[in-house]
A and B are shown apart, each in its own frame.
Chain A
């Protein structure tokens, strides 16, 4: 009786058994890559907003301070989004007829909020606090990227937990002097680690990695 399977099936079997391992690994890698990809994280994807607000123009070129609009950043967990009134402090005087700014004027006129699309978001089980980060010398651009160069705003970092822990484990790699926190042009010194360690000591920065620091 002839064999049911040809000899070559042995090879196919061997390859597929070993191959399955690699296939699984490859799938796992693909999932990992996907989860870190802009498709999932929205990193570097500028979102359409009701008004094409340019941080590049307002911050980078005109030099407005972050806190002019994000007023709660030093006191609260939320940095705060500016009320329409803040926009109108200037735009009741300049660019008063610009069609681009019509949603702003309409909002002020009709007493209806502008509905911005959120760019930087963390899940609901994460309790992030802006005020403590700026107090400890974490610059705005450290997390939010080069905001002063963004014509439309995009997310600069994944805001995933591993990314948070990079700094929570080694704050010396990222911290800057308190007076430079709101600067978009600050360049880290060549000896950042050394300098960072000094700041860590001076600002009593803790390496908080226990869970309830952020999850409660």
Chain B
């Protein structure tokens, strides 16, 4: 969608501000287009199918369709005569223990992302895993997962996964590879491994690390490199400088009253994000005895979910944040060598009153506050954050330190540069690449100390023997002599450490679908023990560790629970290194902490919110999941603030050429309200050349612009970049869902012009003080008509009456619910072209609203599933009664009755109904058949669908309760979105049971429903969002 532009000049900010004045400052807005009230936005609002030209891309005309419809209606009567095809029943020969056909089993295992494990429970139907749930016993999960773990089940069944061993482009076999490895062993035995290199991703697995360790003892001259595009080098180095040793930092947000994020998106990304979201949200509670709401300050560059949850947010360039951290230290009177009164002062430009109020708040919450530095911030910011935490008494309370979770961890960025250099110099004879995809991710780093650029590919090709173990035949596999398909984690044995060091075991749910091998099987082959399976290896390792006569019991318990009890690393008491010197702060950037010139533009690199560093590029669920805040799908963009875009005459979709050190990419612009000025965010992970059918060739690869030694930021003041941005004049279509399915509140214009119009906004919000003064502020609009104002007779619910409450105060907008719903309900993926037509199929969407100034808005999230209205407008218009009301209040959708008139979705004010315009479900691909939830119909073309409140889960809980001759208890039914929510923002249950959680929430003062004035009486209601601003902040009352 285009943005409001001055003729030929890009975004017109003044016009937007003027319109905002007339609209009322308190009103929520969904985007710049809504503020500007553009024609295109109107179309989205008023037309049900705004991009539907009445003609399919294939050239089918509407009139032809009508003719066919007449013909098919005539034939439809005969469809009743269809004979069911003959089916076979294939029972077991010997029935395996525990499997009961029709009953799922759950096994605990571990999802590993960026080296860090999250415990999951996997639902398995007759041996096929279908759904990932969090493991309540695992400290990094507590029953929830992130978006990546939810989507990982799709990777297992991905038909593009690598399936066979490939040797120089031809299909080969594992046995053939083993004989090569045996030769390799003999050769390296003579040279003690000189020239043998192993490249892995970050590894926290104790058993795998021990195995590599043993390998390195056998071949002492060999070297082990660890590298990922999104390394945590800075966090690690920052802590090492502060404490003089490698440590792992764990935050205890449940104990924190005041949280400061220095460009950290800790609620969404990084180790422990799921747990942090839980602990953070639990402290957003304003009601109940002893509830004390926490306060979050976020200083950040991009617009992240963490920033959206902030009570006070400050947007600034990533390169300004080190200076800000130093200024905060100065305001707190924390002495840092070489900085502040001891040396260079952070040059001005920071809002001193803001910092003073923040410092004051921190000091008055001594021991109950925490400062969190962002993973991509320079190591000095981490060191400063540690120094502040020590000074503020956070250490031991809200921050604990443990031994590092990675074993013999190398700092990744120098490690890959070392490897690059050695390969270029011919020092590497054999390279084993395990899991990583450096050919895509490393891009073109310059070799240390040389000005000439050397391509990673060129260096790699100098290695005589190259082996790649990976899930896909990707860019790196292409250039290796051997490619071994890597087993998916649901096919593997292994182990991994969580964010706090807790070890959980990885156990397979299914035998490898293809010839997949694990990393440990590859290493054991290199050790000359190819006969050992990864099961033997993991088990042997833990046997040697526990040395316990009850080993078998311990092993069985650990497998069953998914975690090894008591394996969390103990806190270690640490003292700040007294030897901190000026050099510690100044050696990386010559000008540190000098803030760069305010006018200079920076380019910032970040992992993509849904496809991360590109490893999930072939996962269609993640590609189509709208990215938080921008709501973009299927692409990456150059993101910038409205002012930056206006200054350069850019609007959404304009393609710009970005040049850094003479390398360039062409990227479409996306304007993000709340983004820091003079800063451009580029997300990694796109522009894959060999990702698979889904991920190949979409977006642009920004890793080619990253350069060592510090890959996250390019700004002229610190390192010569030669940064240039030019408008190419081309436009690129982008599929953003932000303006799809907009709920039209503009119907009653005159009321909306009033000063109180904001009270009826779809997201209602107030401050904690306002809430204490007037708890029912969200219900004040009083727009709900008196009950009985309907032609239809009411219905009395004698038994169950299902309902849902969504606490906007807790929702962190991560989108895990969207993907969980997709996995549970067999929801199809439609592709970019169809998303642009507004045809995405997600039953649950997260609407994002903004409030306040275009440049510095507050951001609000609102998950919108079907409302299951009591007076459902959809039901009244269906000519074939394919959507009807159940005696328990559900708005049911009956696929086998639906004839596809789409009247229902036309009449739905909440726009939650989704229509299968095409045959979106993939009925053809064999491997995907294993993925489906057997309890949910796979919908075909021409059928309407929508959120069912996971009716299959309701029915199964009811049947179990009936069999036990009892009622369904509160908590027996957990919808997929509720189960996955890290923040526990969604609660489902029986409204008639007054003691149920949902009934209590709905009886609370913050409860309100959307569009209550329509008298639809929704069963999904919302709890108003509260903010907890610091009264001493400038601009606060």
Q: Which of B917-953 contact A (CB under 8 A)?
A: 935-937, 948, 951-952
Q: How far does the Cβ of B150 sit from chain A's closest Cβ, in whole Å?
A: 21
Proximity bits, B857-892, A CB within 8 Å = 1, else 0: 000000000000000000000000000101110101
Give a binary string over B894-931; 1 marks a CB under 8 Å from any A CB, 0 the rest: 11110000000000000000000000000000000000
| A216 contact from B77, B93, B948, B962, Cβ within 8 A | B948
In the complex, are the beta carbons of A115 and B94 less than 8 A apart?
no
Give B97 Cβ to nearest chain A Cβ, in Å.
Answer: 12
**Could you name 6 residue pairs across A and B whose Cβ atoms are closer than 8 Å?**
A83-B92, A116-B90, A117-B89, A127-B952, A135-B963, A215-B896
| A212 in contact with B81 (CB, 8 Å) | no
Write out, one digit per residue, whether chain A residues 73-95 have a CB within 8 A of any chain B CB (1) or not (0): 00111101111111000000000
* B-facing residues in A84-142 (Cβ within 8 Å): 84-86, 107-108, 111-118, 121, 123-125, 127, 129, 131-132, 135-136
Report the minimal beta-carbon distance from B466 to chain A, rounded to whole angstroms: 41
Are A72 and B100 closer than 8 Å at their CB atoms?
yes
Interface size class of B (residues with CB under 8 A): 35 or more
Q: Which listed residue, A35, A75, A80, A116, touches B80 by the CB 8 Å rule?
A: A35
Q: Is the CB of A132 within 8 A of B963?
A: yes
Give residues of chain A (1-36) contacting chain B, Cβ–Cβ below 8 Å. 28, 31, 34-35
Contact across chains for B102 and A72 when beta carbons are under 8 A apart = yes
Interface residues of chain B: helix, strand, loop or mixed (majority):
loop
Alpha-carbon separation in the docked complex, A42 to B85 (Å)? 11
CB within 8 Å of A: which of B96-112? 100-103
Q: A34-B81, A35-B80, A75-B103 are in contact. Are A85 and B959 (CB under 8 A)?
A: no
- Which of B91, B103, B886 contacts A84 (CB under 8 A)? B91
Residue A187 lies at the interface, judged by CB distance under 8 Å to chain B: no
CA distance A216 to B955 in the complex (A): 10
Can you name 20 extra interface pairs (CB under 8 A) apart from A77-B103, A83-B94, A212-B955?
A: A35-B81, A40-B81, A76-B103, A78-B100, A82-B91, A83-B92, A84-B94, A116-B88, A116-B89, A116-B90, A118-B87, A127-B935, A204-B965, A210-B886, A211-B884, A211-B894, A211-B897, A212-B886, A216-B936, A216-B951
Asked whether, in the complex, the Cβ of B959 is within 8 Å of the Cβ of A129, the reply is yes
User: A72, A114, A132: which contacts B959 (Cβ < 8 A)?
Assistant: A132
Q: Report yes or no: B884 in contact with A210, Cβ–Cβ below 8 A.
A: yes
Contact B93 A108 (CB under 8 A): yes
In the bound complex, how far is the Cα of B93 from the Cα of A76, in angstroms? 20
Once the chains are docked, how many angstroms separate the CA of A75 from the CA of B963? Answer: 9
Cβ contacts A192-216/B at 8 Å (1 or 0 each): 0000000000001000001111011
Contacts of A213 in B (CB 8 A): 955
Q: In the complex, what residues of B have CB within 8 A of residue A82's CB?
A: 91
**B67 on the A face (CB < 8 A):** no
Residues of chain B with a CB closer than 8 A to A76's CB:
100-103
Smallest CB–CB gap between B404 and chain A, Å?
Answer: 47
B308-358 at interface with A (beta carbon < 8 Å): none
State the Cβ distance, A82 to closest chain B Cβ, in Å: 6
Which chain A residue shows the least CB distance to B897? A211
- The residues of B that contact A116 with a CB separation of less than 8 Å are 88-91
In Å, the complex CA distance between A32 and B84 comes to 16
Contact present for B90 and A113 (CB under 8 Å): yes
Q: B936 to chain A: closest CB distance in Å?
A: 6
User: Which residues of chain A are near B886, meaning CB under 8 Å?
Assistant: 210-212
Question: Counting CB contacts under 8 A, is B78 at the interface?
Answer: yes
Cβ A85 vs Cβ B88 within 8 A: no
Q: Which residues of B are found within 8 Å of A80, using beta-carbon distances?
A: 91, 100-102
Q: Could you tell me if B951 and A212 are in contact, using CB atoms closer than 8 angstroms?
A: yes
Question: What CA separation (Å) do A121 and B95 show in the bound complex?
Answer: 22
Chain B residues within an 8 Å CB radius of A28 = 77
CA distance A125 to B934 in the complex (A): 10
Confirm or deny: B83 has a beta carbon within 8 angstroms of a beta carbon on chain A: yes
CA distance A42 to B83 in the complex (A): 9
| Residue in B closest to A133 when the chains form the complex, CB atoms | B959
Decide yes or no whether B531 CB sits under 8 A from chain A: no
Residue-by-residue, is A152-171 near B (CB-CB < 8 Å gives 1, otherwise 0)? 00000000000000000000
Chain B residues with CB below 8 A from A108, complex form:
93
Task: For the complex formed, measure the closest distance between the CB of B484 and the CB atoms of chain A, giving whole angstroms.
Answer: 30
Chain A contacts for B86, CB-based, 8 A: 117-118
Chain B residues proximal to chain A, CB less than 8 Å: 77-78, 80-84, 86-95, 100-103, 884, 886-888, 890, 892, 894-897, 935-937, 948, 951-952, 955, 959, 962-963, 965
Q: Shortest distance in angstroms between B285's beta carbon and chain A's nearest beta carbon?
A: 34
What CA separation (Å) do A39 and B119 show in the bound complex? 53
Chain B residues whose CB sits within 8 angstroms of the CB of A211 once the complex forms = 884, 886, 892, 894, 897
For A111, list chain B residues within 8 Å (CB).
93-94
The complex places the Cα of A114 from the Cα of B93 at a distance, in Å, of: 8
Question: What residues of A have a CB within 8 angstroms of the CB of B887 in the complex?
Answer: 210
Determine whether the beta carbon of A204 is less than 8 Å from that of B962: yes
Q: Interface extent on A, as a size class?
A: 35 or more
Residue of A nearest to B885 (CB): A210
The minimal Cβ–Cβ distance linking A109 to chain B, given in whole angstroms, is 9
CB distance from B677 to the nearest CB of A (A): 50
Could you tell me the distance between the alpha carbons of A31 and B88 in the complex, rounded to whole angstroms? 28
Q: Hey, which chain B residues are within 8 Å of A35, CB to CB?
A: 80-81
With both chains docked as a complex, state the minimum distance between the C-beta of A85 and any C-beta of chain B, in angstroms.
5
- Residues of the A chain whose Cβ atoms lie less than 8 Å from the Cβ of B936: 216
Q: Do A112 and B102 form a contact, CB below 8 Å, given A131-B963, A210-B886, A212-B890?
A: no
| Contact call B884/A113, Cβ cutoff below 8 A | no
Closest approach, in angstroms, between the C-beta of B1035 and any C-beta of chain A? 51
Residues of chain A within 8 A (CB-CB) of B84 are 42, 121, 123
Question: Smallest CB–CB gap between B973 and chain A, Å?
Answer: 13
CB distance from A205 to the nearest CB of B (A): 9
Going nearest first, the 4 A-B pairs with the smallest beta carbon separation are: A78-B102, A76-B102, A77-B102, A81-B91
- Inter-chain CA distance A75–B886, complex, in Å, is 26
Residues of B contacting A112 in the complex (Cβ-Cβ under 8 angstroms): 93
B103: nearest chain-A partner, CB-CB: A76
Closest to B93 in A: A84
Q: Which of B101, B102, B935 has the most CB of A within 10 A?
A: B102
Contact of A125 among B92, B890, B896 (CB under 8 A): B896
- Whether A131 touches B895, Cβ cut-off 8 Å, given contacts A112-B93, A204-B965, A215-B937, is no
Smallest CB–CB gap between A41 and chain B, Å?
A: 9
Query: Which residues of the partner chain B approach A135 to less than 8 Å between Cβ atoms?
Result: 962-963
User: Could you tell me if B77 and A31 are in contact, using CB atoms closer than 8 angstroms?
Assistant: yes
On chain B, the residues within 8 Å of A115 by CB distance are 88-90
Give every chain A residue within 8 A of B83 (Cβ-Cβ). 39-40
User: Which residue of chain B is the closest to A108 with respect to CB atoms?
Assistant: B93
In the bound complex, what is the Cα–Cα distance between A72 and B894 (angstroms)? 28
When distances are taken between beta carbons in the complex, the residues of chain A under 8 Å from B897 are 211
Complex Cα gap A83–B101 (Å):
12
Interface centre among B93, B94, B95, B892 (most CB of A within 10 A): B93
Task: State the CA gap A216–B935 with chains docked (Å).
Answer: 8
Contact assessment for B937 and A113 in the assembled complex, using a CB-CB cutoff below 8 Å: no
Distance in Å: Cβ of A135 to nearest Cβ of chain B: 5
Report chain B residues within 8 Å CB of A81: 89, 91, 101
Q: How far is the CA of A30 from the CA of B386 in the complex (A)?
A: 84
The minimal Cβ–Cβ distance linking B1006 to chain A, given in whole angstroms, is 31
Please report the C-alpha to C-alpha distance between residue A40 and residue B80 in the assembled complex, in whole angstroms.
Answer: 9
Q: Which residues of B contact A123 (CB under 8 A)?
A: 84, 896
Closest to A134 in B: B963
**Complex interface: chain B residues within 8 A of A118 (CB):** 86-89
Chain A residue, CB-CB nearest to B881: A211
What are the residues of chain A within 8 A of B93 when measuring CB–CB?
A: 83-85, 107-108, 111-113
B78 touches A31 (CB 8 A): yes
The answer for the CA separation of A118 and B85 in the assembled complex, in Å, is 10
Q: Which residues of A contact B965 (CB under 8 A)?
A: 204
Chain B residue nearest to A112 in the complex (CB): B93
Which listed residue, B77, B103, B962, touches A132 by the CB 8 Å rule?
B962
In whole angstroms, what is the CA distance A108 to B77 when docked?
47
CA distance A25 to B901 in the complex (A): 27
Q: Chain A nearest CB: distance from B930 CB in Å?
A: 16
Instruction: Write the A36-49 contact mask toward B (1 if CB under 8 angstroms, else 0).
Output: 00011010000000
